[in-house]
A = this chain, B = another copy of it.
């Protein structure tokens, strides 16, 4: 069979990306949501999405969509999967590829956009999302939990410098469970991937808490030692 015959006549699909954009605000993981601007479901709570263009990869589309909105580059993203139910978008059949994105609220505040009709909401409000977006969020969180336990990706949600209390609160928020302070510190410090600065955060306590930074070189050295990240 010639390629002409083979490829021709096959159905073609609209393909979009939907982004589960997560930030760590206050003491909680929050989801960046939008108000849908077009029918159907105008005004419905929605993930950030957009169609994939002819001349870009799916990853590029996801990056473009997130960058356009947040003004940020080099956002950490991970693909969750493809969603292709027939009626998932009541407007027309659209196959959507979902990503989660982790952004540091600091970067976001400094970013150009941040205005528009976007809104940070708690994860329990995912109930209100349109179409299959709640399912997408659920799947993204499940994947984030797995990944965050095995790789040092959580730092993408924190400012460059953070305290151990912040770090612990972040993981508590990701896993939705309390962690023991002493055990947590013992574990994270024993990995030797954090560098303690001399400066202290005096905002959250009178005494002040040391700032730490994640050190990528130390992390890679840990891997070379045959050890691996685990929280």
Contact = CB atoms under 8 A, between A and B. Distances in A.
A53 B39 CA distance: 26
A208 to B, nearest CB: 41
Contacts of A10: 14, 51
For this chain, the copies found in one complex come to 2
Contact of A52 (B6, B53, B79, B84): B84
A53 B12 CA distance: 9
A14 B14 contact: no
A177 to B, nearest CB: 14
A84 B55 contact: no
Contacts of A94: 7
A54 interface: yes
Interface stretch (A85-93, A167-175, A186-194, A214-222): A85-93
9 contacts: A3-B38, A7-B94, A11-B14, A11-B15, A13-B13, A13-B15, A15-B95, A57-B84, A82-B82
